[in-house]
Structures are given as structure tokens and as C-alpha cells.
Structure 1
Amino acid sequence: MSQPLRRRVIATCRRRSMAVSDQHAANGCAVAWRPSDGFVLPLAQRLRFRALPVVERRDDPFGVRDDSHTGAPKATAGQVLRETVQLLREMDAYAKRRLCLALVLVGVAAVLNGLAPVVLKSVVDDLNPSAHDAPLPLFAVVGIYALATWLTRIASQLREFVFGGAQRRMYRSLSERLFAHVIRLPMRFHLQMKVGAVSEALTTGLQGVEYILQYTLYTILPVLLELATVIGVLLHLGQPVFTALFVLALLGYAAVFAWGVVRIAGPARAAAAAQTEAHGVMLDYVANFELVKYFGAESIAGKRFDAVLARGEAHWRTYYARRLSNGMLVGTIFAGFLGLTLAYACRQVRAGAMTLGVFVMVSAYLLQLVRPVEMLGVALQQLARGLAFVERMLDLQRQAPESVQGRATPAVDGYGELVFDRVHLSYGTGQPVLQDISFRVRAGRTLGVVGASGAGKSTLLRLAVRLVEPDSGRILLDGCPVCDLALASLRAAVAVVPQDTLLLNDTIANNIRLGNPECTRVEIEQAARLAQLHAFIMRQPEGYETRVGEHGLRLSGGERQRVSIARAMLRRPRLFWFDEATSSLDALTEQHIVRNLRQIAQHHTTVVVSHRLSSVAHAEEIIVLQQGRIAERGTHAALLASDSLYARLWHQQQCADTAPYERVYPS
């Protein structure tokens, strides 16, 4: 990197670091930034490069709820299971019908499988020469045995087919509901979240639901029903000793399982949390590859990622070690049960107290149930793992979404008059962000907002569209408090060109169309022309279908900002809000776009926030924010005529700017 370029990068880092530190202090974000951290973290957050976090590791991957600090108890496995069942109960009728049918097929297959050895007993007893006449011919009994076996297999296959459809529908429904919940979470959550943690929580949570359903329907319920059938058969045939042995073995197994679940629950939960954190760290650095390369932080990224993976590996080792001890105890119990049962059966046959058919039936039960019961242990352990995964998703589900409906009025008509009346905001941190902010922007007029970084300029926008709520005071749109408006109605009335350009990984046309999904292609091209973007788009091989890449990284900063401007122009709102809308543009392009913006917004209420005073000089009123208060207000001419902060900033910028005011706003 050349020395001039290096100096420009460092200067940008310093300028943006101060801006972001002020902005995040104003927004109440819990960002731990130390001077020794340099400017990497603030620059990353200013550019919406997520993370490179330097916050201490906490149990809550979302950075919002931290039970380890508050002392709040973690949800028990029973609570997680109940909440999971409640989620499943809210599925649509199609999924419920198929799930109920799958449960019926599970019961049919389990009962038939449990009765099959009884039929085999009859076959063996009929082969005994000393046996009395059988109620059914031998071949009929063999046919019944074959039919029962066939029906068992068919029921199992049908169960898989029916459950597969229900599982896919539940996955789709849950994914849609959780996605809708995440995008409706308030600004506070999204500012404080760890990037990747939400994605991983959703992915592993849905995987955990699949674990719970699959192991319940394919292993736990079939084995339990089959065991109940076997115990019922043994009692019916008058075999209390065998029944007692089965029951004792199951009680021993249940005791080991209850003890084992408690032992593996902690490591399973910690491993799930470590997996979520590792996924978040990986996404952070991959998404911020440009920043990593600027600062040569590849080794730092690798070490941090490896440290998180090492913690996860340690938890998984503990988890598997405890699973091993549980499995060994279960194996000991069943080996002892098998030996005792066969020894007693052989003794009874020799003593003539038991027919050979009963012996074969008991042996068949032993061979038939040993492996499923062993798998029952695995299934229950996987169930515990699934519950640990689901717990992360339920943590996300418990986050309260922003209020979508207003308190009284769903919509309001008007021309876009905006009023801030003695508004105070502190975000609950105790440090005031905005103090006693009052202004009125009459319909069709323009308000300019200027001030130093961290003065609260962008916070005004967040208040206006209810991304945050004020501590006191009122904000009114056309005479109606914004808190009384439905969010959809309020945000449809405001078109925003944000300070940080936000683009989807989609085509240019679809990014522009986001401002008005019903617009035509002609309207899209017209908006692009007004944003000085059409010529650039037509030079691309795919034109308006050119994909912009992740976060719009295939476009330059100025091109991304022009896409954002074109998107706002399609909105047809009552209020335009330009938040540093031309900060990434060169002076000549800014001249054209500012002229277009004034033309488009001339019949709309407009708020222009800018650090370039030339961008707000045409406003009917300009307010100067300083430390969260309105320090000065007036027209451009009135503020210049006084020895004001605005006048001093104006003269400083005129000395440094290559495009004077007369060129930007010709008379």
C-alpha cells in the first residue's frame, strides 16, 4: 500500500471510529472497545461489517440475555420439551393429520411386532408330537406369523412416508415463523446480537426438533409400546417370573438413564452453545474479509476461531465420555438380564414346567428387544442433545418483538407534517442521547439537520420510524402520535436513504424494487436515471439483472448509495428522510443527485441529515445538534450572518471543498 493511500485509510479509520463510538454510546450498545483495540471494531460497525467482537464471552449467544450475570435459572429439559410440544401443537392441520397418522402406524407396528413371537410359540408347540390338537392348522399359524411380520414392515414403511411429509411441512412452518419473528425483533436486539449466532440457533434448533421427532417416532415410542405389549403377553400367559425380570431390567435401565441424562445435559448444552459461537465467529470474519485483509488479521481470525472450536471440542469430549459410561452400565444391566432369563427358561424346560414354544417365545423376545432397547438409550441421549439445540432456538423465540399494531389508529391521512415535541432519549443507560428536542417540519417543507458525529442525528430517524421509543415527549406525523400508528402504516409513509447503504444479495432491479414491490420496469429505470445510476447499469453485461453480491460488495460505495436513493424515489411517501444520502459520492455526482432530490422532494416533507452543509443550505430551517441538544436553528442565511457554530463549519468546509456552494446550488 502506498504511503498516501495508507494515510487516507488511517484517517478514515480514525474519523469513523470516533463517529461509531459516539453513535453506539448514543444507541446504548454494549460494545466493549478499548484504546488498545485500535480502530478495527468501530470501523467494522460503522460500515456494517459485523463483529470482530471484543466483548467477553457470555452464555447468551445473542448478546441480549445473560443468565450467568443475572442469576436467572436456565430452562429445565422438561420446560424445553413442553415449549417444543407447544410449538408443534401450533402447526397447521395438514402436519397434525399426518403426525397423528404416523403415531397410529407406530402403535400398529409395535403391537404387531410384540405379538409375532406369540404366533411363533404356537408354531413350535404344534411341532411337538405330544401336543394336543391345535385350534388352527399348522400352515394357517405359519401364514398368520408371516402376515404379522409383513404387516409390521408395511406399517413401518408407511410411517416413514407419512411422517416424512409431516416433517417437511413442520420444518417449513417453523422456519417461516421463526424467520418472521427474527425480522420483527426490535432494533436493540439487532444492534447487540452476535452475527451468526441467530443463524446457527435457527439451524441447530430446527435440527433439534427433527432429532426429537425422529427419535421419538422411530425409536422411543415403538420400543416402549413393544415392551408394554411383551409385558402384557407374559402376564396373560401366566409367566410372572419373566415379567418380573423384564420389569426389573427396565427399572434398572430407567435409573441409569435418569442419572445419565443429568450428567450429559450440561456438556450437551455447553457444546451446543460453543457450536453456535463458532458459527458466529466464522461468519463474522468471512463476511468481513476485506477488513481482515486491510489489517492483516488472518492469523488473529484463525486463532480466535480455533479457540472457540477448542472449547467446543472439550465439551464434546466430556459429552462422549459420559455417554460411554452410561452405555457401559446399560450393557451390564442387559447382559445380566439376558443371562438370568435364559438360565431360568432352561431350568423350567428341563423341569417340564415350560413348553418348548414358550422357551422359543422368550428367546425371540430377548433377541428382538435387546438391540432396540440399546438403541433406546442412544435415542434418549440424542433426545437430550436435541433439547439442548432447541433451547437456543427457544431463547430466540422468547425475545419480545416490536409492537406491530399501534395503540389506536391503524393509518392516518395527511401531507407529511412531522413534529418532535420535547423528546428525550437515554436508552436506559442513564447517559442522555437526546434532550428536549423540539421542531416542526411543515408539509412540503425541508428541514436540514447537521452536527458532529455522535450528536444524535441518526437517532432522530430511528425515533421517527419507531425503531426506538423515546423516554418522554411526543413525535407526531400529521397530528397523530407515531406510537398510535401501526408500524406498516408509519413506515410506508417514510422513504429513507440511510447513512449505511443496505443492499440484498440480489439483482439491482430487485434492490430498487424493494422500495415499491408493485412498480413497473419503466418506473425502476426512471428512478435509476434520477439517481444517476442508469448509465452505469446499462454498461453491465446483465443490465438491471446484475447481481450486487453480499452486502452489495460488487458495487462501489457511490454505486450502492445511488441504488439506495433510487429505491427511496420509488416509495412515493409523505416524508423523505435523507441520512447522509450523498456521503459516498464525488462532488460532481453529488451536484446532480442533490438537484434531482430537490426536484423529487419539492412537494414532499423532507429531512436532510448531512455533515456537508452544502447539502442542507436550501432547507427552510436548519437545526444544529450538539451533544444531543439543539444548539442553533434558523435558515442558512441567518445562521451565516451570526457568529455561530454553523457559520464556522461552513467556512471551514468551503476552504476544503473543491465544489463551492454556487456550483452545487446555482441561482
Structure 2
Amino acid sequence: MRRYAHVPAAETPAGSPPAAPQHGERQTLARLWPYLWAYKGRVMLALAFMVGAKLANVSVPLVLKNLVDRLAPDAGSPQALLAVPAGLLLGYGLLRLSTSVFTELRELVFAKATEGAARRISLEVFSHLHALSLRFHLERQTGGMTRDIERGTRAVHSLISYSLYSIVPTVIEVALVLTLLGAKFDMVFVWITVAALVLYVSFTVGVTTWRTRFRREMNELDSKAHTRAVDSLLNYETVKYFNNEAFEGRRYDEALERLRKVAVRTQQTLSLLNAGQQTIIATALIAMLWRATQGVVDGRMTVGDLVMVNAFMIQLYIPLNFLGVIYREIKQSLTDLDKMFTLMAREREVADAADARPLLIKDQQAPAVRFDHVQFAYDPARPILHDVSFEIPGGQTVAVVGPSGSGKSTLARLLYRFYDVQGGRITVNGHDVRSLTQDSLRRHIGIVPQDTVLFNDTVAYNIAYGRPDATREQVEQAAKAAHIHDFILATPGGYDTMVGERGLKLSGGEKQRVAIARTLLKNPPILVFDEATSALDSANERAIQAELAAVGQGKTVLVIAHRLSTIVHAHEILVMEQGRIIERGTHPQLLAANGRYAQMWRLQQHEA
């Protein structure tokens, strides 16, 4: 049966970000730290280079002061010819160069740590998404979710860049400058600087915190617009079928208009923040230079001291000028990273038990599969299976027929452990599938689904997906068994023909034959055919049915079918209706019983 999963109210579908982070910022940083600390040697070396760069940077105004003071002798005096010692000029140039060299060395050393951490996090998110259950993936919004992952990965770079390359160096530089100002001059310089810093930081943090909600809203609207665009493009054919290009354009434009309004509001608040910051910086700079100028006039300070104070202030306020941007980006990066970590923390609906063991099946041995009083519902308010019991003996074929919505495809999903039963059990060779590892169970099952979705790659890649280590000869052999080899050779690219997004360049029958080929290539001991030939014409269906019957020899086969003509040779046929087995037996037995199966048979024969 086809069904659309219902997500419990406690869960939040991916791609629809929560209104607020699920964790505190400290917890988010704590989760990021182990990824960086794996490169602790590089972290420590980068910090050393950073301190070296700041020491060199703070030393530049000191050397500049000495250069200016050496120019103080009266013009035309013999000392003026020697006013600028070569050593000071050389030292000034070397300090300037050292600042740049240490900075580049810091970034060079730490690049591996940054990229390595981003790679590990991205891989873990990717692996975790594949480990999540089918219910999650049926409810996700692909565009929004990929946007969240993209922003989360970028947030790793931003956090490291802004914190290690901006915040920490600025703190070090502020401490060094305040120490020098307090030691060389009076404490008024220190208090002016501290007051300006406190006012600047308080204003920046306050306004940025206020602005964060606008930025978060803008990101959410951006994700929604992206989701709407991706969803429309993925359903391109449906849009064309109903001439709804203009309708889709209006829907997308509505999302873009909401995004535009929030983006304008975000820019307005940013301009307010920048104007306030510049006012504070300019006021502090005027106060410092006024104090320094008064000191020169009074004879307490030299012209070099004035130049040094001015250079200190410029060096100090240039990075502070970007504090609002840095603080905003760090806050936003923490929010984006938290969304990705929240996704990684999403619990699996179907997980291996702590003591799960692998399923071991001897070569050439067909396992027995049993459904024992199975109860199941996707939504508790709407049960799907009611006390379903049957067995597929090793090496035999059992077919399940019935109207749409009777629960047939659910049997395959439960056997594959896309979901766990809520009552009863399913066993393979007497082992409850919940006691087995999902990986080992699925390695022994091959399925041809009713709806075949292919990767946007070559035909050869899609067939070989059943067994990635297969040779080209084995791939072609599987294609021949699925009666698609001749069609592939007739295409311009042969086996290297691209099948397009979700296989849309192929017809439904061609996609289904590719799916059959890759399952035949996998060659597992348990086979599940869920309407495996529903998209084929009669001639190809008969040919492939014969091939599938040959392949199924010696294997345990579950066939889910609507066309009764395809399962007349099954060892047992189950007739399901409303989640219950209402008839069972062989084809002749069921016809003789003159029940629901016989009625369906007569109807299909009449239609034929």
C-alpha cells in the first residue's frame, strides 16, 4: 500500500527551522570544540603566530614614535643629517612585514584544522541523514534542509575565522595597548579608551541582539523560498501538465517579496548600527587626540607620543569598526550551526538494538521468512495491518494481492525495517528482525519497488548500484536478464547514457527494467517484487516474468502484485483487504473457493 507518513506533533520536519535554537550557544561551541581539538597542535601553533602578529603590530607605533622624535632636532643642524637611523627604518619595515607574515602563517597552519573540522561535520551530517528512518525523509523539505546544512557547514568557517582571526586578536591588542598607555602616560588615556570600548561593545551587542530576530526571519524565509523553487523544479513535468508555470512563478514571487521586505528591514537596522558605532569611535578618537595635543603643548609629551597615540587608536578602532558585523556573524553562525547539530541529534525511529547481531545465511541457503501476528499503523489513529500471519518457506514464492490501500507494500517496508512492527514480530530463519543489524538484514534482501527513482548518472552506474564492485561484464549480464541491454546499446551513449534527474530521461518501463537489473545484480537470497512489472508492456512483462521466475529459483520471494496473471505460479497467494488476510491458497485453490480472488480474476480476465 502507498501511504504518506504522519509526523508526530513533537517532531519538527527538516527544512522548517525552529523559531529558536534548540541548544544554548555554549553547548553549540562545546560540540564544535572536539572537532577542532583533533588538530590541537595546529591550534596551539596558530595561536602562537597570532600573538606574534599582535606583538609586531603593537610595536609599530613605538618604532614610529622614535622615528618622529629623532626628527626633532632643529632643521639645518649637523644632527639632522643623522636624524633617521637606518636601524629604526629597517625595524619599522620588518615589524610591518612580520605582522603580515605571522598572520599568513596563522591562516596557513590553521587551514587544515578548519577544513578538516568542516569535512568531518559535513560527513557526519550526511551519514546521519542516511541513518534516519523513512518517516523523516518522507516529511522533509529537501530545499530547506539542504540550505540549513549548507549554512551550518559555512558557519564552521565563519566561527573559526571571526573568533580566532578577529575577536581573540582584538582582545590581545586591546590589552597590550591599554598596558602601554597606562605605563607611558597618565591613566586618563586608559579610562577614555576603556569607556569608549565599554560603550561601543554595549551598543553593538544590544543593537545586534535586537537585529538577530530580523536576520533569523530572513533566513527562514530564504529557506522557504529555496524549498519552493526546488520543489517546483523537481516536479517540472507536473507543472507543465497543468500549465501552471505562471502559478508557480506567483508562488515563488510571493516568497521572494516576503524575503525582500525582511531584507530591507535588516539593512535599515544595520545602517543604524554602523552610524552609532562610528559616532562612538569618532568621539573617543577626538578625546584621545585632544588629551595628547594638550600634553605636547604642556611639554609632558613629545610629537612622537602624539603620533604613537594616534597610531594606537587607528590600529585599535579599525578591527572594532567591524565588531558589529563580527558579533552578528558569530551569533548567526551559532544559530546556523545549532540547526545542523539539532539535525544530527535527531533520534532514529528505527535503530539497532545494543545487542543486535548480524544475520548469517549460508551460501545457497534460502532463508525462511515469517510474519507472526503483525500489527502496524503509520498513524495510531489509522491502523494498517491487523494480526497478519503467514510464512514464506525457504526457496518458495508467496504472492500478496488485494486492492490499493490494503497494506501490501507495508509488508515489504516492515521486512526491510523501514519501520518496526507495533505488535507481533517478523523473523528471518527464526531471528526477530529487530534483533538483527539493519545493515546485515538489508544486504540479504533485494527489492524492486513500484516507483523507481534513479540517480542522475549513467545507466551503468544505476545498474551497478546493486553491487558497486561489479565488473562491466556482470552489469551487462544483469541488463540482459532484465531485457534492457538492447535498448541501452541503441542509445548514443550506450551504458554511459545519462538518465537525468530521478531518471526522467527514461520511460517508466525503462526505469523499472533498470531497477530489476540492479536487483538481479545484487543477487540476494530474499527477493521482494513490489509491482515489479507494472510499468511494462505485455510482451516485455511476459519475458521478464519468465526471467524473474528463473532468478527466483532457490530464493525466498515475496511478490506484491495487482495483475493476478503474474503470480499464478506462486506457491501461495494471500488476498488482503483493509489490512487483513481474507483468503490464502494456490491459484487453483482460490479459483475453486470462488471468493474475492476468483472475483478479481474474472474481472481482470474480462478487462483483458
Report the Cα distance in structure 1 between the residues aligned to 2:130 and 2:41, rounded to whole angstroms: 30
- Residue 320 of structure 1 corresponds to 267
The partner residue of 1:571 within 494, 516, 522 is: 522
User: How far 1:505 sits from its partner (Å)?
Assistant: 1.0
- Residue 357 of structure 2 corresponds to 409
Could you give the per-residue CA deviations for residues 507-531 of structure 1, whole angstroms, max 9, x where no partner exists? 1111111111222222211111111
Report the Cα distance in structure 1 between the residues aligned to 2:137 and 2:190, rounded to whole angstroms: 58
- Residue 147 of structure 1 corresponds to 94
Instruction: Tell me the amino acid that sits aligned with residue 160 of structure 1.
Output: E
- Residue 35 of structure 1 corresponds to none
Q: Does 1:280 align with 2:227?
A: yes
- Residue 485 of structure 2 corresponds to 534
- Residue 256 of structure 1 corresponds to 203
Residues 67 and 218 of structure 1, relative CA distance in 2, 3 Å threshold = closer
User: How far 1:175 sits from its partner (Å)?
Assistant: 2.2
Report the Cα distance in structure 2 between the residues aligned to 1:108 and 1:464, rounded to whole angstroms: 62
Is the contact made by 1:422 and 1:472 (CA closer than 8 Å) also made in structure 2? yes
Report the Cα distance in structure 2 between the residues aligned to 1:533 and 1:382, rounded to whole angstroms: 54
Q: Does 1:451 align with 2:399?
A: no
Q: Does 1:524 align with 2:475?
A: yes
Is the contact made by 1:576 and 1:607 (CA closer than 8 Å) also made in structure 2? yes
Matches within 5 A, 1:490-569: 490-569=441-520
Is the contact made by 2:35 and 2:117 (CA closer than 8 Å) also made in structure 1? no
The partner residue of 1:342 within 289, 293, 317 is: 289
Matches within 5 A, 1:639-654: 639-654=590-605
Instruction: Tell me the amino acid that sits aligned with residue 87 of structure 1.
Output: L
Instruction: Tell me the amino acid that sits aligned with residue 217 of structure 1.
Output: L
Report the Cα distance in structure 1 between the residues aligned to 2:7 and 2:26, rounded to whole angstroms: 33
Report the Cα distance in structure 2 between the residues aligned to 1:535 and 1:96, rounded to whole angstroms: 58
User: How far 1:67 sits from its partner (Å)?
Assistant: 5.3
Report the Cα distance in structure 1 between the residues aligned to 2:393 and 2:496, rounded to whole angstroms: 39
**TM-score, scaled relative to structure 1:** 0.85
- Residue 418 of structure 1 corresponds to 369
- Residue 168 of structure 1 corresponds to 115
Matches within 5 A, 1:352-367: 352-367=299-314
Q: Does 1:105 align with 2:53?
A: no
Report the Cα distance in structure 2 between the residues aligned to 1:181 and 1:91, rounded to whole angstroms: 20
Q: Does 1:382 align with 2:329?
A: yes
User: How far 1:66 sits from its partner (Å)?
Assistant: 7.7
Could you give the per-residue CA deviations for residues 431-485 of structure 1, whole angstroms, max 9, x where no partner exists? 1111111111100011101111111111111111111111121111111111111
Report the Cα distance in structure 1 between the residues aligned to 2:242 and 2:401, rounded to whole angstroms: 32
Report the Cα distance in structure 2 between the residues aligned to 1:186 and 1:300, rounded to whole angstroms: 34
User: How far 1:288 sits from its partner (Å)?
Assistant: 0.9
Could you give the per-residue CA deviations for residues 71-115 of structure 1, whole angstroms, max 9, x where no partner exists? xx6436xx245424523522584x554444333322221222122
Could you give the per-residue CA deviations for residues 527-550 of structure 1, whole angstroms, max 9, x where no partner exists? 111111111111112211111111
Report the Cα distance in structure 2 between the residues aligned to 1:180 and 1:74, rounded to whole angstroms: 22
- Residue 180 of structure 1 corresponds to 127
Deviates more, 1:420-429 or 1:481-490: 420-429
The partner residue of 2:28 within 74, 78, 83 is: 83
Instruction: Tell me the amino acid that sits aligned with residue 382 of structure 1.
Output: E
Instruction: Tell me the amino acid that sits aligned with residue 359 of structure 2.
Output: A
Is the contact made by 2:22 and 2:342 (CA closer than 8 Å) also made in structure 1? no
Matches within 5 A, 1:472-487: 472-487=423-438
- Residue 214 of structure 2 corresponds to 267
- Residue 460 of structure 1 corresponds to 411
- Residue 62 of structure 1 corresponds to 14
User: How far 1:296 sits from its partner (Å)?
Assistant: 0.9
Could you give the per-residue CA deviations for residues 39-89 of structure 1, whole angstroms, max 9, x where no partner exists? xxxxxxxxxxxxxxxxxxx995626x8857xxxx6436xx24542452352
Is the contact made by 2:13 and 2:139 (CA closer than 8 Å) also made in structure 1? no
**1:468 alignment partner, SS class:** coil
Q: Does 1:233 align with 2:177?
A: no
Residues 137 and 327 of structure 1, relative CA distance in 2, 3 Å threshold = closer
Residues 319 and 503 of structure 1, relative CA distance in 2, 3 Å threshold = same
Report the Cα distance in structure 1 between the residues aligned to 2:324 and 2:7, rounded to whole angstroms: 45
Residues 246 and 303 of structure 1, relative CA distance in 2, 3 Å threshold = same
Is the contact made by 1:59 and 1:67 (CA closer than 8 Å) also made in structure 2? no
Could you give the per-residue CA deviations for residues 406-445 of structure 1, whole angstroms, max 9, x where no partner exists? 6332232252210111111123432111111111110001
- Aligned residue pairs total 597
- Residue 156 of structure 2 corresponds to 209
**2:370 alignment partner, SS class:** strand
Instruction: Tell me the amino acid that sits aligned with residue 35 of structure 2.
Output: E
Deviates more, 1:319-328 or 1:291-300: 319-328
- Residue 61 of structure 2 corresponds to 117
Deviates more, 1:387-396 or 1:484-493: 387-396
Deviates more, 1:355-364 or 1:376-385: 376-385
**1:153 alignment partner, SS class:** helix
**1:570 alignment partner, SS class:** helix
The partner residue of 1:435 within 382, 386, 408 is: 386
Taking only the aligned residue pairs, the percentage that are identical comes to: 36
- Residue 5 of structure 1 corresponds to none
Instruction: Tell me the amino acid that sits aligned with residue 165 of structure 2.
Output: Y
RMSD of aligned Cα (Å): 2.4
Residues 88 and 66 of structure 1, relative CA distance in 2, 3 Å threshold = closer
Where does structure 2 lack aligned partners over 5 or more consecutive residues? none
Is the contact made by 1:450 and 1:622 (CA closer than 8 Å) also made in structure 2? yes
Q: After the TM superposition, which parts of structure 1 deviate over 6 Å for at least 4 consecutive aligned residues?
A: none
Is the contact made by 1:181 and 1:397 (CA closer than 8 Å) also made in structure 2? yes
Deviates more, 1:522-531 or 1:215-224: 215-224
Report the Cα distance in structure 2 between the residues aligned to 1:439 and 1:582, rounded to whole angstroms: 24
Is the contact made by 1:61 and 1:276 (CA closer than 8 Å) also made in structure 2? no
Residues 164 and 459 of structure 1, relative CA distance in 2, 3 Å threshold = same
Is the contact made by 1:30 and 1:192 (CA closer than 8 Å) also made in structure 2? no
User: How far 1:612 sits from its partner (Å)?
Assistant: 0.7
Q: Does 1:128 align with 2:75?
A: no
**TM-score, scaled relative to structure 2:** 0.93
Q: Does 1:297 align with 2:244?
A: yes
**1:286 alignment partner, SS class:** helix
- Residue 193 of structure 2 corresponds to 246
Residues 466 and 398 of structure 1, relative CA distance in 2, 3 Å threshold = same
- Residue 156 of structure 1 corresponds to 103
- Residue 604 of structure 1 corresponds to 555
Is the contact made by 2:122 and 2:153 (CA closer than 8 Å) also made in structure 1? yes
**2:552 alignment partner, SS class:** helix
Is the contact made by 1:504 and 1:511 (CA closer than 8 Å) also made in structure 2? yes
Instruction: Tell me the amino acid that sits aligned with residue 14 of structure 2.
Output: F
- Residue 198 of structure 1 corresponds to 145
- Residue 28 of structure 1 corresponds to 6
Is the contact made by 1:456 and 1:627 (CA closer than 8 Å) also made in structure 2? yes
Could you give the per-residue CA deviations for residues 277-313 of structure 1, whole angstroms, max 9, x where no partner exists? 1111111111111110001111121111111122222
Where does structure 1 lack aligned partners over 5 or more consecutive residues? 1-18, 32-57, 658-667
Is the contact made by 1:198 and 1:396 (CA closer than 8 Å) also made in structure 2? no
Instruction: Tell me the amino acid that sits aligned with residue 356 of structure 1.
Output: V
User: How far 1:29 sits from its partner (Å)?
Assistant: 5.9
Deviates more, 1:560-569 or 1:617-626: 617-626
